[in-house]
Amino acid sequence: MSRRNAKGRDINGIILLDKDTGLSSNAALQKVKRLFFAKKAGHTGALDPLASGILPICLGQATKVAGFLLNDDKRYFVRGQLGQTTDTLDCEGEVTVIKDFGQISEAQVLDAALSFQGDIEQVPPMYSALKKDGQPLYKLARQGIEIERKARSVTIHKLDFLGYENGVVSLEVSCSKGTYIRSLIADIGDKLGCGAHVIELRRTGFAHIDITQALKFVDLEALTGDIGDFEQLDAKIFPSEEMLPSIHSVTIDKQQGIDIRYGRQIKIANQVDNLVKMFDENAIFLGIGQIENGYLQPKRLFI
């Protein structure tokens, strides 16, 4: 079957893309989907066009675990410019406030940044994919509409201060899901009394994944062979189960595997209530299940 008239390949797994700046997450997804000639694809943990770094692209049935990937911690390198506030909280927006930062010392910037380490309350930015009555906030923001956003609890696990020069602060941040680095930089600027916005952002870690494991699109393109030859490209696909290290694994027997495949819950002994990765007697990944009160119920099946 030729590439021209086929709907795509049934391939499953996750590509770790090192997304370039200037590209939306959806545009990056579509490029990877076309390159792999995949029938189905989705991304998880969207990055702003300004941001670069790790963007997991889920192919085929791996799209079923995208939501579970979102629960993992992330790591970022960020540079923030003091003295200017923008409507988007980054350098792609319009400057709304300008204040002098000349009297602010490196020690003050360090203290302000480190004060956000730990459990904090953070207000999401208007320019975000969060929704209000089904409408993404960024679409409302583009119409000049601003709505009240409730502060959310997030955790800055670790904040490394890399330096401060000419009004630019550089940080490495390890944080929980749901953390907005743009809001973090804006909050640091507010604490210093001069405002701030992001001028560079790069996701360097995602759960147990490091940026060194990710490939740029040009690297993937270089692996394409003759039409219909995807061997080198497919070798870069990670199995879905490897991308979920924080979820415990359980192995079930043949009959239990049949029941699970039909969507039936099964009794399972000596397991605490939790999400689990399910494997059959041949170590084949079946999907994600939920254990409650001694019973295993399938939630996302790979069949």
Is the domain of 93 the same as that of 47? no
Q: Is 187 a catalytic residue?
A: no
Q: Identify the pLDDT of residue 1.
A: 33
Domain co-membership, 184 together with 233: no
Q: What is the pLDDT of residues 32-88, one digit of tens each?
A: 999 999 999 999 888 989 999 999 999 999 999 888 888 889 999 999 999 999 999
Cα-only R_g, the chain: 22
Q: Are residues 150 and 40 in the same domain?
A: no
Domain range for 56 is: 13-71+209-241
- For residue 3, what pLDDT is reported? 43
Same domain assignment for residues 125 and 166:
yes
User: Do the domain assignments include residue 2?
Assistant: no
Residue with token string 């330096």? 163
**Residue 163: which CATH number?**
3.30.2350.10
Catalytic residue (choose from 18, 48, 72, 87): 48
**119 and 56, same structural domain?**
no
Structure tokens given for 7 = 């709907």
Write down how long the chain is: 303
Residue 279: left (phi > 0), alpha (psi -120 to 50), or beta?
Answer: beta
The predicted pLDDT at position 145 comes to 78
Q: What is the torsion angle, in degrees rounded to the nearest 10, for the CA atoms of residue 86, residue 90, residue 92 and residue 96? A: 0
- Tokens 């899901």 correspond to 177
Helix (H, G, I), strand (E, B) or coil at 137: helix
Contacts of 14 (CB under 8 A, 6+ apart): 56, 57, 58, 59, 62, 237, 238, 239, 240, 243
Rounded CA separation 104/110 (Å): 11
Q: Please indicate, yes or no, whether residues 233 and 253 belong to a single structural domain of this protein.
A: no
Task: Please give the tally of structural domains in the chain.
Answer: 3
Within a domain: residue 3? Answer: no
pTM (2 decimals)?
0.89
Q: Are residue 43 and residue 146 in the same domain, yes or no? A: no
Asked if residue 122 is part of any domain, the answer here is yes
Distance CA 172, CA 102 (A): 24
One domain, residues 202 and 102:
yes
pLDDT in tens, the chain (303 residues): 334 446 899 999 999 999 999 999 999 999 999 999 999 999 988 898 999 999 999 999 999 988 888 888 999 999 999 999 999 999 999 999 999 999 999 999 999 999 999 999 999 887 777 777 777 777 777 877 777 888 999 999 999 999 999 999 999 999 999 999 999 999 999 999 999 999 999 999 988 899 999 999 999 999 987 777 899 999 999 999 998 888 999 999 999 999 999 999 999 987 888 999 999 999 999 999 999 999 999 999 987
